[in-house]
Structure 1
């Protein structure tokens, strides 16, 4: 018998505003749809208006009353991220949920942004680091805001190489590059929470991973071959951990949610270990990220 998604933590989100990066496809599409079903106004952040509007039309076929808008966002382009933040803050005074969902996975060839950043690290970490920073004051001003940064169990295989973050000295390894970016997501989660705490904010920084889900992204790159594709759960299941992280008010800050049995099962908290929980590594990545993005987060009371 197929396991059903666990919706016990669903709640009314009327009056809430959410941003979902990559909200036009896969887990992002499903998360946007569910947030809208619960009454939230959701901003779909994706590369082009056309892709966002096509996704929005599909969502409204399922939820006619969905409150949605689209704003363009390219996480590999600092100018695009700044424009998105300016557009969002010009329209919205609060941000209840920021779902840092967009990402790239196991790119076969080494690719770089125009700044020279390796594409996994740029898209999965640095772009979201900058975006969250530009929205930081709005998040701090919003009671009980949530930032959920989607990671992966692949973080366990990573060794954060600060001397060669962009694979300029090492032979490129797509699995290793992806794993480092997913470890970076968790390091960011912890360091961001300290900034929220220092600001006296009630905001919570969280993370989640989907397990093995039948998303367009995973299927397109052929993760694990035919066996993994056969075992993959429907996207509704893959979205459950990040939805729980975004909406379950009983969870403590810095919770990492994933399928109970690794690739399947209802979402549950996962204990993190290794480099992910090393505060020194967290703060080193934070400092490097500020330097690379050219953006310093607003000074909080304790940090000032």
Structure 2
């Protein structure tokens, strides 16, 4: 995930995804693979369900365009193409060639030119990278309407989503607005999980641009990693914020105040680990975001 993300009227970089299956508007970690995937996670089709098979990685939200390896300036080297140009190999851990892949099979996925796809912190774009050897950290969940791709290291599903830097992919937990089907515009509550890849705390600041434009410090959200090299979010509590008025332009900044050369000042761009902008609505949805 990039250092700074802004939304809507504030130079949009992330698009909210509305989940079509019920999700409570309360703080909760991203969904587990043990449960049926949310409707919004079932965003793919074409990947093989047998080990050592290959097929296109087509995306339902992007007009069935498919992913392929392609060099780009920012983020992981992936881009969209017509599906015949997309070829992804899927390998089930411990399975023979053509062995059946189920929802709970640990799988590694590979694209020619790139390698094996894995969770990997990035300066720009989605936190994905390459490995030269198989990384069996994925689950491929096939339903009647498509496929969901779950990463057990990240504890989240990868789906289509617009972003300013890098290929248009996001983690489902990064930007989900509930309640589904409400028709609401704007945000009632922001819930942000601290998965800073360097395990540092973040100082959270809020600026209501339509109420004087002054920054207010709302305190520290500590790292929610289970430990170095573990999973996130697991421990602690997320940052939550609910504006008291509607139709105001709100900015939230997570200041990396313990980073070298930084202080607890939301106006220093190099110390802004994360920035989020939105329009408030006291009857709107909940924005769930993972800060990395």
TM-score tier, shorter chain, comes to under 0.3
Normalising to structure 2: TM-score of the pair? 0.24
Greater length-normalized contact order (CA 8 Å, ≥ 6 residues apart): 2
Normalising to structure 1: TM-score of the pair? 0.23
Q: Higher helix proportion, which one?
A: 1
